[in-house]
């Protein structure tokens, strides 16, 4: 047993904890009444992310309520395109909108030189949150992975098939590569600065990794993730990284073997026995309760939680969801989840 008081950091070093650490993707969000109240005080969503008083308060809300093992910076993956000078806004009830990049010439209008100034409030939020956390709670910084962020930058928002971005990557891979390379570089710098400001763990969200066939997934998702991990670790060799290549399926194996990350976030569809046998000897696993069980609650939730714990809890493991918590989740169901995970023993 190490003397490290933060369970999350112990699990990321490969320790099996007496009841795994738990945090939840999107743990600060609309399912919490206190979030909706704070959110109402900022005008638009990006404003809230870039106002330390509000972002600090929201980051700490789920910690105060549930005593989770980690706080995750309150921000969004689309803060990076915003910091690069692309127009980004959030429409109530619709989601993110961006002025889309349509031609390779549009990439040249992105201005990495602006990043440090625009993102300064994010670093202030991290510094101040870190001071507020007790000795058992870790602070997670994050960014979107290059492919997922590029998909929003090109599609101009969410998309059901990523047809415009994927077609571009297939038709003019060298053009697409210049955008991915810019995102690799700026994302690595952004994550390094988050660690400088107090983040102790980093998660890279590749929410749309699952839309690619094998070779393209390797090229547009695995290779950029590996390069980001390499760049971050060249500056901060000890900071653990969690990759979340959602939908990667059997290719999770390649991420475990070849990304340099300490942990993989499993999406809801990944079979537990396969993950334990194939991946858990190589990396710490995180996941993968179906977030809709926190809407359903009751016996379905209890059984789902038990299944995840029995499936993965005897190896290095971090309890989480398989995707972000939904606005319809019941706060009481989250409390019951935390209680059940805390009382489980391997």
Secondary structure of residue 321 in the 3-state scheme: strand
Q: Does position 74 bind ligand CP3 by CB under 6 A?
A: yes
Distance CA 10, CA 54 (A): 30
Which bin fits 14, alpha (ψ -120 to 50), beta or left (φ > 0)? Answer: left
Query: Which 156-195 positions form the footprint of ligand CP3 (CB under 6 A)?
Result: 158
Taking CB under 6 A as the criterion, which residues in 53-72 touch ligand CP3? 72
| Shortest Å distance, C-beta 91 to ligand CP3 | 9
What SS3 class is residue 197?
A: coil
Evaluate whether 60 touches 71 at the Cβ level (below 8 Å): yes
Find the catalytic residue in 31, 66, 152, 162: 152
Distances (CA, A) of 194 to 61, 81, 142, 150, 235: 20, 17, 8, 21, 12
* Residue showing tokens 């107090």: 198
Among 9, 11, 25, 217, binds ligand CP3 (CB under 6 A): 25
339 phi and psi angles, rounded to 5 deg:
-60, -45
Is 342 known to be catalytic?
Answer: no
- State yes or no: residue 78 binds ligand CP3 (CB under 6 A): yes
Choose which of 142, 212, 252, 255 interacts with ligand CP3 (CB under 6 A).
142
Cβ neighbours, 10 Å, residue 117: 9
**For residue 150, with 0-12 CB atoms within 10 Å meaning exposed, 13-18 middle and 19 or more buried, which class applies?**
buried
Catalytic residue list contains 30: yes
Q: Which of 198, 192, 186 is nearest to 128 (CA)?
A: 198
CB of 205 to ligand CP3, least distance (A): 4
- Report yes or no: 79 and 93 within 8 Å, Cβ to Cβ: no
Residue 199 CB, nearest approach to ligand CP3 (Å): 12
* 39 classed as catalytic: yes
307 is catalytic: no
* Using rule CB under 6 A, residue 267 touches ligand CP3: no
Work out whether 324 is an interface residue with ligand CP3 (CB under 6 A).
Answer: yes
How would you write 68-92 as a 3-class SS string? CCEEECCCCCCHHHHHCCCCEEEEC
Q: Which one of the spans 27-35, 223-231, 248-256, 291-299 is the region binding ligand CP3 (CB under 6 A)?
A: 27-35
| Residue in 28, 70, 229, 309 binding ligand CP3, rule: CB under 6 A | 28
**Helices 115-132, 52-66: inter-axial angle, 10-degree rounding:** 30
Among 75-83, 253-261, 267-275, 302-310, the segment contacting ligand CP3 (CB under 6 A): 75-83
Q: Closer to ligand CP3 at the Cβ: 61 or 284?
A: 61
Q: Among all residues, whose Cβ is closest to ligand CP3?
A: 207
Residues 193-222, interacting with ligand CP3 (CB under 6 A):
205, 207
* Cα–Cα distance for residue pair 211/217, rounded to 1 Å: 8
Cβ pair 222, 145 in contact under 8 A: no
314 has catalytic annotation: no
Q: Is 27 in the site for ligand CP3 (CB under 6 A)?
A: yes
Tell whether residue 97 is a contact of ligand CP3 (CB under 6 A).
no
CB of 319 to ligand CP3, least distance (A): 15
Which three-class secondary structure state does DSSP give residue 136?
coil
Positions touching ligand CP3 (CB under 6 A) are 25-30, 39, 45, 72, 74-78, 90, 95-96, 142, 158, 205, 207, 323-324
> Catalytic amino acids?
26, 30, 39, 76, 152
């Amino acid at each position: 047993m190490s003397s490290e008081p933060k369970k999350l950091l112990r699990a990321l070093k490969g320790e099996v904890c007496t009841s795994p650490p738990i945090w939840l993707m999107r743990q600060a969000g609309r399912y919490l009444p206190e979030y909706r109240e704070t959110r109402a005080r900022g005008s638009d969503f990006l404003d809230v992310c870039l106002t330390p008083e509000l972002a600090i308060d929201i980051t700490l809300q789920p910690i105060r309520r549930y005593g989770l093992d980690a706080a995750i910076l309150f921000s969004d993956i689309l803060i990076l395109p915003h910091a690069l000078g692309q127009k980004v806004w959030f429409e109530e009830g619709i989601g993110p909108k961006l002025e889309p990049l349509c031609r390779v010439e549009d990439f040249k209008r992105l201005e990495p030189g602006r990043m440090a100034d625009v993102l300064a409030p994010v670093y202030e939020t991290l510094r101040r949150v870190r001071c507020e956390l007790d000795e058992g709670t870790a602070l997670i910084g994050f960014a979107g992975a290059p492919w997922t962020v590029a998909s929003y930058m090109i599609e101009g928002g969410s998309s059901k098939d990523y047809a415009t971005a994927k077609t571009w990557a297939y038709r003019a891979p060298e053009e697409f590569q210049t955008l991915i390379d810019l995102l690799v570089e700026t994302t690595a710098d952004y994550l390094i600065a988050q660690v400088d400001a107090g983040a102790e763990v980093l998660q890279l969200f590749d929410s749309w990794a699952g839309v690619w066939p094998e070779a393209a997934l390797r090229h547009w998702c695995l290779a950029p993730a590996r390069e980001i991990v390499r760049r971050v670790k060249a500056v901060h060799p000890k900071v653990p990284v969690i990759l979340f290549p959602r939908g990667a399926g059997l290719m999770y194996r390649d991420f475990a073997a070849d990304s340099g990350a300490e942990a993989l976030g499993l999406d809801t569809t990944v079979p537990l026995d396969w993950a334990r046998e194939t991946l858990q000897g190589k990396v710490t696993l995180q996941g993968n309760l179906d977030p809709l069980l926190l809407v359903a609650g009751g016996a379905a939730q209890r059984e789902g939680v038990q299944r995840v714990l029995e499936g993965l809890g005897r190896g290095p493991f971090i309890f989480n969801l398989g995707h972000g918590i939904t606005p319809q989740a019941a706060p009481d169901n989250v409390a019951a989840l935390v209680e059940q995970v805390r009382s489980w023993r391997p």
